[in-house]
Amino acid sequence: MRYISQLIILCLFLTFYSGYAQHTVVSNQISGMANKPAWWKEAVVYQLYPRSFKDSDGDGVGDLKGIISKLDYLKSLGIDAVWLNPIFSSPNDDNGYDISDYRNIMKEFGTMQDFDELLAGLHKRNIKLILDMVLNHSSDEHEWFKQSKSSRTNPYRNYYHWWPEEKGKPTPRYSFFDVNNDAWKYDAATKSYYLHYFSQKQPDLNWENEKLRNEVYDMMKFWLDKGIDGLRMDAFQYAAKDTTWKKYPEGYEKNIIKYYGMGPNLHNYLKEMNKTVIRKYNVMTVAEGAGSTLEDAHALVDEDRNELNMAYHFEIMDIGNDPKGYKLTDLKKTFTKWDNSFADNGWLAIFLANHDVPRMVSKFGNDSPEFRRYSSKLLTTLIMTMRGTPFYFNGDELGMSNIKFDAIEDYRDIATINAYKNIKAKGEDIKAFMDKQKFISRDNTRTPFQWNDTANAGFTTGKPWIKVNPNYKMVNVAAEEKDPDSELSYFKKIVALRKASPVLVYGAYQVFDIENPDVYCYTRSNGKDKMLVILNFSGKAISYSLNKDIDTASAEVLINNYAKAALKQNQIKLLPWQSIVYKIN
């Protein structure tokens, strides 16, 4: 939670200083490297949260065999690649983002044989596999850390960051998940503190150590040699620390990416990694987090940098975290600002949800029974019609929504649980905290995938590790597969449309009427084809005048989340949360 709230504060800062384009029409021209074709630009990536997807053995936890049993479902979606959250051995302090053995599969998830079968099954269906590389930190149960903490002279000592007690208290550093937000944990055995930006069980690796770097590169090769197709670089922007340990100004934690991100040697490490490992394989790489400026992001992903392929930035994630709502203009300006900046060089990932944020329909749409279906399809339309590689979170294709737990006992996420303890210890407003969690907790997206209307939504025959959203009786794959108007059917249609339309991948983006508070209207064009996207982000019917430069004479509806589209010349009557994509001249 603190992690997320820091990001929200950061966004406000960026929003204030970045100077959004104020023009009515903002356009990106087609030119430069951004249009150089690549499979990873054309792919639709489906993020699959293994812990909650499908349990095959009744222990209440999703597993690889469960995914294997659903390969045909994945194929039916029409997606090109699956990104799996970490599947490596882990004590699960942070659901797999604390790895104790990078070369093995988490026991609850299965075996290496299962992994090989999964990879082969995906490839047989022409689906690529992206793995999550957690390289900023390991688990404290990793052999490296066990060795490292055993003595000050152990050869693994410098695999992590230690501060000897005799130097006094270490310079304060903020931890996202620590109950007291203290990133230094004292270890009595060697009378030293170790650094952990995340939980106490996630010590930060010391990237200054060449031996560590080489071990990591070998490990990466191990997985790439198995034939995986891509890597998602978890929190890697924090990997390079300023080890002079200078004091940061008061309140620095409100602007954490500025202080922790893009450290002194980060680009050297990435260039070395690229040269030693990545370049040797035809794989895609995506950075989680991209610094705090557009320039930071470009430095990671521009083609001539030879570092990573694309990045997802946090600015979109930081919009919509206030239960009272958000301004559509902020969303439009943020997408537009980033698209403009990446029109010529570099590439972005496009997403509205993942396992670290709430469900997209609850956050950016309207999850009431009246509008959930429409708004969820509208958001899917936005993701699938923007420039950039779509990263689509599992369950959103069904219109899954936030679970909104009442009791702290129902939460499983260390971020929520430790923030709760922190608030309680400080005597702050627990009710306000709990209300906010219903809206922002990461557990909202982590509930079991809803397969059908049988017990536990068909996710497990046992007791699920986290409660199933009670709306599974209505929102589930079995019901939606039968319904041609379901969110799932819509998702398949729009993925097919994107796959058949190079203009939706490479075409220039032009936004109209950016100050309109309800309607998001833009075109995508490549000189040959042109598409018009109109999204009514409100629960009211709207009569909307299109910009006179948009030629609708031969407009043809390609996809619509209602049965009707009422366009006459440049006037359109939009129904609540209506989204339409037209082919135009």
Residue nearest to ligand NOJ as judged by C-beta position: 97
State the Cα–Cα distance between residues 157 and 146, nearest whole angstrom.
9
178 binds ligand NOJ (CB under 6 A): no
Ramachandran category for residue 368: left, alpha or beta (phi over 0 → left; psi -120 to 50 → alpha): beta
Nearer to ligand NOJ, 355 or 530 (CB): 355
State the Cα–Cα distance between residues 13 and 292, nearest whole angstrom.
10
State the Cα–Cα distance between residues 394 and 448, nearest whole angstrom.
10
Place of tokens 């043809």: 556
**Do the strands 310-312 and 519-525 form a parallel or antiparallel pair, or are they unpaired?**
unpaired
Nearer to ligand NOJ, 350 or 584 (CB): 350
Phi, psi of 130 (to 5 degrees): -115, 130
Nearer to ligand NOJ, 96 or 464 (CB): 96
Q: Give the distance from CA 347 to its chain's centroid.
A: 15
Nearer to ligand NOJ, 93 or 229 (CB): 93
Residue type, 308: L
Contact between 397 and 70 (Cβ < 8 Å): no
260 binds ligand NOJ (CB under 6 A): no
The residues in 231-250 that bind ligand NOJ, with binding defined as CB under 6 A, are 234-235
Nearer to ligand NOJ, 141 or 356 (CB): 356
Q: How far is the CB of 235 from ligand NOJ (least distance, A)?
A: 4
State the Cα–Cα distance between residues 191 and 162, nearest whole angstrom.
10
Q: How far is the CB of 450 from ligand NOJ (least distance, A)?
A: 22
Q: How far is the CB of 378 from ligand NOJ (least distance, A)?
A: 26
Nearer to ligand NOJ, 175 or 334 (CB): 175
Contact between 45 and 388 (Cβ < 8 Å): no
288 flagged as catalytic = yes
82-101 mask for ligand NOJ (x: CB under 6 A)?
A: ------------x--x----
What is the DSSP-derived secondary structure letter of residue 228?
-
Nearer to ligand NOJ, 8 or 558 (CB): 8
154-173 mask for ligand NOJ (x: CB under 6 A)?
A: --------------------
List all residues 6 or more positions away from 115 whose beta carbon is below 8 Å from its beta carbon. 64, 87, 105, 226
198 binds ligand NOJ (CB under 6 A): yes
Helix-, strand-, coil-residue percentages of the chain, each rounded to 5:
40, 15, 45
Q: Give the distance from CA 438 to its chain's centroid.
A: 19
Q: How far is the CB of 351 from ligand NOJ (least distance, A)?
A: 12
Nearer to ligand NOJ, 88 or 472 (CB): 88
Closest CA to 64 of 79, 42, 86, 46: 86
**Angstrom distances, CA of residue 561 to CA of 42, 78, 379, 499:** 24, 19, 11, 19
State the Cα–Cα distance between residues 323 and 393, nearest whole angstrom.
21
Q: How far is the CB of 165 from ligand NOJ (least distance, A)?
A: 27
Crossing angle for the helix pair 372-385 and 487-499, to the nearest 10 degrees: 10
130 binds ligand NOJ (CB under 6 A): no
State the Cα–Cα distance between residues 439 and 325, nearest whole angstrom.
11
The residues in 344-373 that bind ligand NOJ, with binding defined as CB under 6 A, are 355-356
Q: How far is the CB of 564 from ligand NOJ (least distance, A)?
A: 40
The DSSP H or E segment spanning 16 is: helix 2-17
* Interface size with ligand NOJ, residues (CB under 6 A): 9
List all residues 6 or more positions away from 116 whose beta carbon is below 8 Å from its beta carbon. 226
Q: How many CB atoms lie within 10 A of CB 17?
A: 9
134 binds ligand NOJ (CB under 6 A): yes
Contact between 539 and 371 (Cβ < 8 Å): yes
Q: How far is the CB of 356 from ligand NOJ (least distance, A)?
A: 5
Q: How far is the CB of 306 from ligand NOJ (least distance, A)?
A: 24
Nearer to ligand NOJ, 288 or 480 (CB): 288
Q: Which of 55, 63, 93, 288 is catalytic?
A: 288
Q: How far is the CB of 413 from ligand NOJ (least distance, A)?
A: 9
Closest CA to 304 of 38, 34, 29: 34
234 flagged as catalytic = yes
The residues in 447-506 that bind ligand NOJ, with binding defined as CB under 6 A, are none
Q: How far is the CB of 415 from ligand NOJ (least distance, A)?
A: 7
Q: Which of 93, 98, 108, 234 is catalytic?
A: 234
229 binds ligand NOJ (CB under 6 A): no
DSSP 67-79: HHHTHHHHHHHT-
Nearer to ligand NOJ, 176 or 374 (CB): 176
The residues in 522-581 that bind ligand NOJ, with binding defined as CB under 6 A, are none
Q: Which residues bind ligand NOJ (CB under 6 A)?
A: 94, 97, 134, 198, 234-235, 288, 355-356
Positions marked catalytic = 234, 288
